[in-house]
Amino acid sequence: MAERGLLVLFGSQTGTAQDTAERVGREAQRRHLRCRVEALDSCDLANLIHEPLVVFVCATTGQGDPPDNMKMFWRFLFRKSLPASSLCQLDYAVLGLGDSSYPKFNFIAKKLHKRLLQLGANPLLPVALGDDQHDLGPDAVVDPWLVALWDKILALYPLPPGLEIISPDVCLPPKYTLHYLPEDSLRPESDLLPPTAPRAAPCELQPFAARVVSNQRLTAQSHFQDVRLIEFDIAGSGITFSAGDVVMIQPQNCPEDVQQFCQLLRLEPHRRFVLEPTDPGTSLPPLLPQPCTIQYLVTHYLDISCVPRRSFFELLACFSTNELEREKLQEFSSAQGQEELYSYCNRPRRTTLEVLWDFPHSTCAIPADYLLDLIPRIRPRAFSIASSLLAHPERMQILVAVVRYKTRLSKPRRGLCSTWLASLNPEQGDVRVPLWVKKGGMKFPADPATPVIMIGPGTGVAPFRAAIQERVALGRRGNCLFFGCRHQSKDFYCQTEWEELVTKGFLTVFTAFSRDQEEKVYVQHRIRENGKLVWELLNSENAHVYLAG
């Protein structure tokens, strides 16, 4: 009989597709299938022709773009040189995760399905299109599709004699085992920080620890929103960037949350451990040092402030020794309980740490081995770079609006990364932030004579500040900026900088302060008022228009 093996490949930007792929992997394990779950770009594509059975789980990002961790796969798959029968041995299924409020809804999943067909692969099922806009989220499509998928797969690869599907009540083994080291082998936390001088260009697996030079509040103290201009020293990093590029920042949890988490789970922060994969084929998490402390794991790796997904409740229910708590957790992880889960978790943006507080008996029963199965890793955050190397050599600046808002929960919700960045005080010593740069989607014209019209309300002005600095350093005029905010006196970012450039003839600025008069005025009103100039620039001078916000 053919070997009962399944490969699950995902392309994920925010972690939802990865979470769904791991769910497929767990369900495969329960059906005694040998299963690997990998990001598309981590998979050896040349071996795809030898794979008999693959499930693809892909998100669509931006305007119908593939996620970052499937871009290489995407280029490879659409090579003209691939023969039409390349994948004739492959049985496959495609599960797409998207949002129907975007015009290119699930574009990547649809296009992938079509391309696999062109290359001779055999679909087990029609492509599934999960939709974030559905009342029950993508699970409304995913749940019934998975039932149909397992029917198909078990028809092709029946269960071996004497084996039955492992019940959902039985806990699967953890991905890693956590081996504590003897107490006497304690080492200071500072030993675990990633090295500051990377060997290659900084990237996600090897970020550059940039020193914070300044952290300045740009909005008035009386203004409801705290917006920061933060400057980093990137000397010696090898980092280069141009206007429109993006910096990725790896945030960390705040000390109070880390302390609470360790107390709730009865973990000793300074204990050191090494991780060992349960399956020899599983690689270790690349961003965790070996050995590692619990403190480092919880501070830098486990996303205890994210809103937990359905899979979290499913696994937590397995450990629960309290009947009431277990019933509630099982309800939250069932298909029927999704509306209730949404109103408990997603609508009020309840964090993983807060959920653990609500289920104290279950929380203190969580085995340390399962921490990495239960809680996803902290994802990096993207910020538009707000400065040019031509104006500020060896420096990088970003504009950060500190995320803080109210829901029905008594405690205000805070953005993990922006709150952490705002808390950093370079006057208190050597403060560092792990970062790397990604090419952005904005390209400014190479021809110095081409004018640019930039529409950047609020912190949307960040990439345009970089572009204006770059263009001014190169002596380029024809820079036209439409900027909008609430009040001239409270949140007009970089006002003096713009005024100086206007005086020197490098910049034309149109401002819209929406709350400074009875009638609200926005950038679109200013564009309409200056329609003649805008049309002149577009029609006669072939101006490029950019919008960010």
Per-residue pLDDT reduced to its tens digit, 399-435: 999 999 999 999 999 999 999 999 999 999 999 999 9
- C-alpha span between 517 and 524 (Å, rounded): 16
Helices and strands (DSSP H and E) totals, the chain: 18, 21
The arithmetic mean of pLDDT across residues 93-117, rounded, is 96
472, two tokens: 């001014």
Report which residue type is found at 24: V
Contact 253, 378 (CB under 8 A): yes
Say whether pLDDT at 188 is over 60. no
CA atoms 25, 265, 305, 286: torsion sign: negative
State whether residue 97 is helix, strand or coil: strand
Say whether pLDDT at 168 is over 90. no
Per-residue pLDDT reduced to its tens digit, 9-48: 999 999 999 999 999 999 999 999 999 999 999 888 888 8
- C-alpha span between 218 and 496 (Å, rounded): 12
Contact 349, 407 (CB under 8 A): yes
- C-alpha span between 127 and 53 (Å, rounded): 15
Per-residue pLDDT reduced to its tens digit, 210-228: 999 999 999 999 999 999 9
Say whether pLDDT at 194 is over 70. no
Nearest CA to 250 out of 408, 12, 433, 10 is that of 433
Q: What percent of the chain has pLDDT over 90?
A: 88
483: left (phi over 0), alpha (psi -120 to 50) or beta: beta
- C-alpha span between 294 and 273 (Å, rounded): 8
- C-alpha span between 108 and 37 (Å, rounded): 19
Contact 239, 465 (CB under 8 A): no
Reported as a pLDDT band with limits 50, 70 and 90, residue 136 is confident
Write out the DSSP string of 382-440: EEEB-S-TTTSTTEEEEEEEPPEE--SSSSPEE-HHHHHHHH--GGGS--EEEEEEE--
Per-residue pLDDT reduced to its tens digit, 301-322: 999 999 999 999 999 999 999 9
pLDDT score, position 344: 97
Per-residue pLDDT reduced to its tens digit, 260-315: 999 999 999 999 999 999 988 888 998 999 999 999 999 999 999 999 999 999 99
Per-residue pLDDT reduced to its tens digit, 502-547: 999 999 999 999 999 999 999 999 999 999 999 999 999 999 999 9
pLDDT score, position 185: 64
C-alpha distances in Å from residue 31, one per residue of 26, 34, 54, 361: 9, 9, 15, 30
Q: If 0-12 CB within 10 Å is exposed, 13-18 middle and 19+ buried, where does residue 351 land? A: buried
Nearest CA to 58 out of 49, 50, 69, 47 is that of 69
Reported as a pLDDT band with limits 50, 70 and 90, residue 196 is very low
- C-alpha span between 454 and 66 (Å, rounded): 27
Per-residue pLDDT reduced to its tens digit, 171-181: 999 999 999 99
- C-alpha span between 97 and 59 (Å, rounded): 5
State whether residue 190 is helix, strand or coil: helix
Domains, the chain: 5-156 (3.40.50.360), 208-251+380-438 (2.40.30.10), 255-374 (1.20.990.10), 452-547 (3.40.50.80)
Per-residue pLDDT reduced to its tens digit, 440-498: 989 999 998 999 999 999 999 999 999 999 999 999 999 999 999 999 999 999 999 99
Say whether pLDDT at 1 is over 60. no
